[in-house]
């Protein structure tokens, strides 16, 4: 238990120390923000800092810090270290820089921001990459809750009817997604997200408190379990670093930060909104990882399929009783929905930034919303009716997510170099994530690991990861030289 509590204290302290150091390095000032200068009443709307924080938290969280952290617990308490230090030195920096760089670029989507820093080729790659990733994320976060809602009503004893039809729930969710993507950000997202954000926090605190009070001494001690406990022998490097993304470092967050960058009244809110929300997500992930280590063995988690609705239900009910079931339902149904709608909204904004489409008029907004949600509906209903199975594609999401984080961190390093500021706060985690993603790509079964000779071949993957990371760092140093010496 001491190791868990120590990590919790370090996380909180990290916000006030390293987070403030990052903020001071960026040096926010009193310039007019996009929300004030543009204020179109649709995407650029001034919102209070507390609301920005809660909306940002729910945008980036969803199920990531719950399911991912629970699955990460299969490696044992060492996952606490990745959540803690990954949040402080990688995830927090990534989220802060992605939001603040967007704010400096009039709230531009992350694909536009990185393109202006890393070149036109990377800009076009990022545009396509982000749109595909966002639509895929939004679709999966529609299909999943639809199935859970069907299961919920089935569990109540309902045998037939529209409420036990997942297709009906999918249609309802997609209609909601269309509305949330189309209308002003403060009409739905700005009003209901803070409520669900509070529920997400209360849910985590309830599970954490219940675990400490009811079985606090059973939390495996980090210092006596400092080894790989994965029951299938999956290597810590780099599988754990890919599995636990949200709650440590996640590229998806960079697609969400521009939403709040368009709603800040002052640049000085960035530390609280971006870095603060990431630390809050790290705390949530740390609590769920500790609870999973306490209530399950690694073998039990592997048998249960890692983080999913079943494991969440069990831990919620075990620690909070009846109220835990209600909060668990909010967690596994509402949270993915609230990440899905902002995923589609971000896809709309990315496309509009790409093709310079003004979004104040209803007609132009509809012209983008309809095809974006249409593709999502086609994928969603295709999965439901068996026309299309994109599970294989979805297996690439985890690697794609961390690859995006790597690229955004390199863009952040280039931005800081251009501004004559301490670029190492971004370059070091960027190098680390370059090694993580390239190592995983070389040996994971979802990527090159499907080749028998490369599957889980550490002798090949580890050196390649190191070489690739070193190459990326050298490439950055060469390309940033013009800024560093100017």
Regions in the chain scoring below 70 on pLDDT: 215-217, 325, 329, 384, 386-396, 485-486
Does residue 453 fall inside a structural domain? Answer: no
457 vs 234, 346, 434, 443, CA distance in Å?
A: 12, 37, 18, 6
255 burial class (0-12, 13-18, 19+ CB within 10 angstroms)? buried
Residue-level length of the chain: 486
Maximum alpha-carbon separation in the chain = 72
Any domain includes 467? no
For residue 444, being part of any structural domain is answered with no
Residue 447 lies in a domain: no
Please check whether residue 311 lies inside any domain of the structure. Answer: yes
- The model's pLDDT over 437-466, given as tens digits with 9 standing for 90+, comes to 999 999 998 889 989 999 999 999 999 999
Sorted by sequence, the CB contacts under 8 Å of residue 469 that are 6+ apart come out as 431, 432, 434, 435, 438
Q: Is residue 442 part of a domain?
A: no
CATH of the domain at 68: 1.20.1740
Cα–Cα nearest to 307, from 137, 75, 125, 150: 75
* Angstrom distance (rounded) from CA 320 to CA 332: 16
Q: Look at residues 85, 4, 428, 431 and name the one whose alpha carbon lies nearest to residue 282.
A: 85
pTM over 0.75: yes
Domain that holds residue 168: 2-398
Nearest-angstrom CA–CA distance, 62 and 141: 9
Write the CA distances from 472 to 119, 404, 469, 480, integer angstroms: 15, 14, 5, 12
Phi, psi of 296 (to 5 degrees): -130, 155
Closest CA to 415 of 54, 11, 79, 112: 112
Q: Are 346 and 60 in contact (CB under 8 A)?
A: no
Alpha-carbon distance of 349 to 352, in angstroms, equals: 5
**Residue 28: DSSP 8-state:** -
Is 290 in contact with 219 (CB distance < 8 Å)?
A: yes
Distance CA 486, CA 483 (A): 5
d(CA 286, CA 298): 16
Compute CA distances 392 → 299, 389, 398, whole Å.
25, 7, 12
Encoded tokens for 429: 């985690």
Q: Are 294 and 211 in contact (CB under 8 A)?
A: yes
Work out how many domains the chain is built from and give that number.
Answer: 1
Residue 486 is predicted with a pLDDT of 59
Q: Retrieve residue 294's tokens.
A: 């306490």
DSSP state of 448: G
| CA–CA dist 317, 329 (Å, integer) | 11
Query: What does the pLDDT read at residue 129?
Result: 84
Q: Give per-residue pLDDT as tens, 325-374.
A: 677 767 777 778 888 888 999 999 999 999 999 887 788 899 999 999 99
d(CA 161, CA 345): 32
Question: What is the C-alpha separation between 221 and 267, in angstroms, rounded?
Answer: 41
Task: In whole angstroms, give the CA distance from residue 462 to residue 242.
Answer: 15
Residue 130 lies in a domain: yes
Q: Contact at 8 Å (CB) between 432 and 405?
A: no
- What does the pLDDT read at residue 394? 55
Q: Is the residue at 78 inside a domain?
A: yes
For residues 131 and 335, what is the distance between their CA atoms, to the nearest angstrom?
A: 21
Distance from C-alpha of 440 to C-alpha of 223, rounded to nearest angstrom: 27
What pLDDT sits at residue 266?
Answer: 97
């Amino acid at each position: 238990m001491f190791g868990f509590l120590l990590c919790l204290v370090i996380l909180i302290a990290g916000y006030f120390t390293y987070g403030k150091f990052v903020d001071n390095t960026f040096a926010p000032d009193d310039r007019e923000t996009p929300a004030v200068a543009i204020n179109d009443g649709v995407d650029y709307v001034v919102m209070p800092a507390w609301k920005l924080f809660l909306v940002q938290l729910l945008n980036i969280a969803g199920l990531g810090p719950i399911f991912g952290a629970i699955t990460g617990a299969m490696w044992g308490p060492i996952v606490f270290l990745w959540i803690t230090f990954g949040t402080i030195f990688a995830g927090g920096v990534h989220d802060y820089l992605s939001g603040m760089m967007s704010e400096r670029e009039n709230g531009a989507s992350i694909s536009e921001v990185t393109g202006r820093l890393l070149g036109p080729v990377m800009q076009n790659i990022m545009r396509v990459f982000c749109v595909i990733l966002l639509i895929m994320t939004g679709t999966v976060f529609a299909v999943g809750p639809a199935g859970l809602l069907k299961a919920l009503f089935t569990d109540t004893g309902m045998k037939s009817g529209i409420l036990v039809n997942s297709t009906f729930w999918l249609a309802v969710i997609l209609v909601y997604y269309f509305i949330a993507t189309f209308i002003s950000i403060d009409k739905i997202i700005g009003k209901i997200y803070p409520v669900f954000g509070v529920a997400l926090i209360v849910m985590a605190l309830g599970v954490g408190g219940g675990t400490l009070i009811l079985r606090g001494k059973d939390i495996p001690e980090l210092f006596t379990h400092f080894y790989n406990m994965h029951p299938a022998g999956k290597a810590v490097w780099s599988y754990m670093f890919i599995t636990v993304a949200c709650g440590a470092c996640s590229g998806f967050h960079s697609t969400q930060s521009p939403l709040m960058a368009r709603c800040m009244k002052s640049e000085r809110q960035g530390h609280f909104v971006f870095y603060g929300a990431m630390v809050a997500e790290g705390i949530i992930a740390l609590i769920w990882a500790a609870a999973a280590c306490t209530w399950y063995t690694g073998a039990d988690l592997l048998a249960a399929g890692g983080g999913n609705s079943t494991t969440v239900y069990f831990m919620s009910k075990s620690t909070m009783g009846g109220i835990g079931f209600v909060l668990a339902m909010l967690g596994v149904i509402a949270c993915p929905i609230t990440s899905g709608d902002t995923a589609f909204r971000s896809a709309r904004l990315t496309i509009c930034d790409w093709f310079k489409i003004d979004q104040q008029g209803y007609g132009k907004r509809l012209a983008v919303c309809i095809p974006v949600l249409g593709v999502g509906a086609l994928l969603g209903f295709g999965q439901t009716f068996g026309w299309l199975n994109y599970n294989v594609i979805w297996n690439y999401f985890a690697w794609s997510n961390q690859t995006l984080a790597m690229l955004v961190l390199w863009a952040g390093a280039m931005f800081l170099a251009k501004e004559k500021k301490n670029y190492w706060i971004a370059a070091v985690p960027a190098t680390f994530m370059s090694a993580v993603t390239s190592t995983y790509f070389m040996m994971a079964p979802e990527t090159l690991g499907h080749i028998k000779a490369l599957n889980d071949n550490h002798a090949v993957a580890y050196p390649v990861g190191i070489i690739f990371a070193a190459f990326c760092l050298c490439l950055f140093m060469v390309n940033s030289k013009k800024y560093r010496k100017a």
